[in-house]
Amino acid sequence: MSTAEKPKESLAEALQRVYPELGAVRGAATEPVYLVGGAVRDLLLGRGRADIDVVVEGDAAALASGLGAEVVSHDRFATAKVSLDGHEIDIAAARTESYPHPGSLPVVEPAAQIEADLARRDFTINAMAIPLGAETGLIDPHGGQADLAAGLLRVLHPGSFVDDPTRALRAARYAARFGFELEPETEALLREADLESVSTDRREAELLRLAREGEAPRAFALLAEWGLVDLREGGVQLVADVAAMLESSPWGEFARRDRTLFAAALGPSGGEEELAKARPERPSEAVALAVGHDPVELVLARALGAEWLDRYLGEWRKISLEIDGEALIAAGIPQGPAIGRGLDEALRRKLDGEISGRDQELDVALEVARSGDGVA
């Protein structure tokens, strides 16, 4: 071996380097305990830290209290969340899950061994465990390591998407994130997945998780390609355009990325298409059009071609009057709708550059407020 070549790091060494705090879990455990799920997958991929999920063949709450860490939450014996050296760790007792009918929530039962817990998982790449105590290496009953190397997503059994169709949405998330393909039999099963059998809440929660991915546009495109979800017309392009827009300011800070990408892909239209067609001639018209639309709709309308919204966002929406209702009351206008009419007209003229400064604002507002029908 040349001196330039680094010896390959063992799994135990990688574990110690990436998750040093797991030493404490190993020390506190009186029953076999394992790192599972995404953290194992990402460790094998060399992707650094992930959320930590630990499974114990026994009592999760006992392990949590044995750790002496802050217990953030717990659910009797089955799960606990602790904070250790500033990192949250989810601890769960090993369990099996069965589905009384397609798309239902699972019936959960304790399992004596880790293998049963791994068998309830979504894809082989997520169904591996690393024992924290013993010298044994990776526990990989379903060939996850080989699928990771081959870049394949594979379900553990043919009924997987029938039990839980949200796994099909998860597949798009992982395929986009890692650039993985569906193993052919998994693809055939996935194309049959019936997302209608899952509650709207669960479906939306999983789609929002997908929308949080860096590669969300690709993930939505995959869902459409697999025939799982009907995107709005032009949705693949729109979601890509919106994602690009949200990369930088000012639009990047304006709306929540996940909700906006979700709406870009799936709609329903909240008036953004109509807004995108409008061609306001004056700033006051632009403001009147934009006010009342939420940030998501404004981002979508901009991506659909309403270039004037750049100036709305950057300039016009920030313009306000120097005067307020008190100034009109002090000048003798009685409380009532005339005050609002006066202020609105002053703002309209200010936006359109017809007046400037406090005195002119007050003159216009008073003139309108005093005139009978509110029109100057």
- By the criterion CB under 6 A, which residues form the site for ligand ATP? 37-38, 50-51, 53, 121-122, 126-127, 164, 166-167
Q: Report whether 29 contacts 131 (CB < 8 A).
A: no
Q: How far is the CB of 73 from ligand ATP (least distance, A)?
A: 16
Residue number, 167 or 218, with CB nearest to ligand ATP: 167
Dihedral-angle region of residue 159 (phi above 0 means left; psi in -120 to 50 means alpha; beta otherwise): alpha
Q: Report whether 301 contacts 323 (CB < 8 A).
A: no
Q: Report whether 151 contacts 181 (CB < 8 A).
A: yes
Q: How far is the CB of 125 from ligand ATP (least distance, A)?
A: 8
Other beta carbons less than 10 A from residue 59's beta carbon: 19
What DSSP letter does each residue of 290-336 carry, written as one string? HTTS-HHHHHHHHHTT-THHHHHHHTGGG---S--HHHHHHTTPPSS
DSSP β-bridge partners for residue 53 = 36, 90
Q: How far is the CB of 38 from ligand ATP (least distance, A)?
A: 3
DSSP 8-class letter at 83: E
Residue number, 53 or 147, with CB nearest to ligand ATP: 53
Residue number, 128 or 347, with CB nearest to ligand ATP: 128
Q: How far is the CB of 172 from ligand ATP (least distance, A)?
A: 12
DSSP 8-class letter at 159: T
Two tokens, residue 103: 């798309």
Residue number, 197 or 371, with CB nearest to ligand ATP: 197
Q: How far is the CB of 307 from ligand ATP (least distance, A)?
A: 36
Residue number, 50 or 138, with CB nearest to ligand ATP: 50
Q: How far is the CB of 150 from ligand ATP (least distance, A)?
A: 18
Q: How far is the CB of 58 from ligand ATP (least distance, A)?
A: 19
Residue number, 187 or 344, with CB nearest to ligand ATP: 187
Residue number, 29 or 156, with CB nearest to ligand ATP: 156
Residue with tokens 């690709």: 218
Q: Report whether 266 contacts 207 (CB < 8 A).
A: yes
Q: How far is the CB of 195 from ligand ATP (least distance, A)?
A: 13
Residue with tokens 């949590």: 64
- Give the span between the Cα atoms of 239 and 218, in whole angstroms: 9
Residue number, 50 or 278, with CB nearest to ligand ATP: 50
Cβ partners under 8 Å of residue 17, min gap 6: 9
- Number of H helices and E strands in the chain, helices first, is 20, 10
Amino acid at 98: S
DSSP 8-class letter at 155: B
- Give the span between the Cα atoms of 276 and 285, in whole angstroms: 14
Residue number, 53 or 241, with CB nearest to ligand ATP: 53
- Give the span between the Cα atoms of 138 and 315, in whole angstroms: 57
Two tokens, residue 197: 């059998």
Q: Which residue is nearest to ligand ATP (CB)?
A: 38
Q: How far is the CB of 346 from ligand ATP (least distance, A)?
A: 52
